Amino acid sequence: MKGKFWSVLSVMLVLGLLLSACKPAAPKETIKIAILGPLTGDVATYGASNRDGAIMAFEEWNAKGGVLGRKIEWVLGDAQCDPKAAADAGKKAIDEDKVKYIVGAVCSSESIPISEYANEKHVLQISGTSTNPMVTVDKEGKTKPYTFRACFIDTFQGSVMAKFALENLKAKTAAVVLDVGNDYIKGLAEFFRDAFEKGGGKVVVWESFVKEDTDFSAILAKVKDANPDVFYIPTYYDKLNLIGAQAKQKGITAVMLGGDGWDSPDTDLAACDGGYYSNHYHKGDPRPIAQDFLTKYKAKYGKDPDALAALGYDAAAALLEAIKKAGVDDPTAVAKAMETLKFEAVSGTITFDQYHNPIKNAAILHVKDGKIVFEASVAP
């Protein structure tokens, strides 16, 4: 008897649950957007800046009444700058949180696996900071219809630095180190090498390391022996701190060059003193929108924004602009609207090319006596 009672009860409970799940959704529901990026791990400051920037944009829009008359709601996911963790975070956002839009991720090695799943599920993704070309195009070279980005790509960043080294620094020889397991670092290094050699320079040391490495003495001994004019270290700040410090200890005098991976509050500026790096944004940018962003960010978070925060903000704003332009809450229509979008963002005026990459300038920044100063702006 008792057993029967329980089984009837459980069947009823299950039915009740099923029925309640079928109820029509309430009108005026929120627009749900996922913010993905590394919130823990070696490059956690990237994820934090990106998140803070994106949230600031969402809050500003919410204060103005949201988009399409609906409030914006966001969920966070930790992609850990790792392809596996990123794929999981992306799946969770799409399948469990049921988001239709993703801002992120940060590392290219996160955004690539997420973009594959997002395109399969017709979820619109806009990354603020993933610079590897493969984020928006697939292996056949076709543009992924649902993936965009708000930053310039590695090809551009690598060749800008090569151009800068050849023309401004009059460099003839270069040493390059790279992490073979990282799409972003490898991309930058390869494009730098190609552009540098095309411009008449010579890459004399080309050495790779793996993510777990902390000792670079053998690589640096080679660099010192080759004595190049410039030393390209397109890594993230965690490795830059180690490589830079060890290079200084070894007495390497080559000018260090890098990419936007150097941009972090945790970068050891003494380790890369005298170096130059390419970046998306600099707080010295005089345009009103950039200055406005700077004051608001400072007021909200109590610190200066880095490029990742600016790009997170831009990516979120671009997404909302596109939703507004499309006029419907439908990723396919929004993607169409995004393709022809032109809008003034903090990091420059954004229009998208056929590969969903924005066309805008790069800033070259100079690390000098513990300070970062604006050096030049280089057009594509």
Partner 1 sequence: MQSILNRIVLFLRTRWYVALIGLLLLVWLAIRFRENPVLFAQFMVDGIRLGFVYALIALGYTMVYGIVRLINFAHGDIFMVGAFTAFYATTHYHWGFLPAMLLAMVVCAFLAVTIERVAYKPLREAPRIAALITAIGVSFFLEYFTALDFVFTPNFISYTPLPIKFKCGDIAGVTFSNIMLIIIAVSTSFLVLLWYIVYRTKLGKAMRATAWDKPTARLMGIDVDLVITFTFAIGAALAGAGGMLYVVVYPQIRTFLGVMPGLKAFIAAVFGGIGSIPGAFVGSLIIGMVETLSQGYLSSTLRDAIVFSILIIVLLFRPTGLFGEAAKEKA
Which residues would be at the binding site for partner 1 (CB under 8 A)? 40-42, 44, 180, 207-210, 212, 214-215, 217-219, 221-222, 224-225, 238, 241-242, 245, 249-251, 266, 268
Residue number, 10 or 249, with CB nearest to partner 1: 249
Write down the least CB distance from residue 43 to partner 1, Å.
8
- Measured from the CB of residue 248, what is the shortest distance to partner 1 in angstroms? 9
Q: Give CA–CA dist 276/322, Å, rounded.
A: 35
* Closer CB to partner 1, 83 or 358, in the complex: 83
Beta carbon of residue 264, minimum distance to partner 1 (angstroms, whole number): 11
Cβ 158 to partner 1 shortest distance, Å: 20
- Tell me the sheet residues that pair with 48: none
Give dist(CA 100, CA 93) in Å, integer. Answer: 9
Separation between Cα atoms, residue 180 and residue 210, nearest integer Å: 6
Structure token pair of residue 291? 């200055």
In this complex, which beta carbon is closest to partner 1, that of residue 222 or of residue 366? 222
Nearer to partner 1, 207 or 329 (CB): 207
C-beta of 174: minimal distance to partner 1 in Å?
Answer: 17
Least distance to partner 1 from the beta carbon of 220, Å?
Answer: 9
Beta carbon nearer to partner 1, 141 or 251:
251
Considering the complex, state which of residue 215 and residue 292 has its C-beta at the smaller distance from partner 1. Answer: 215
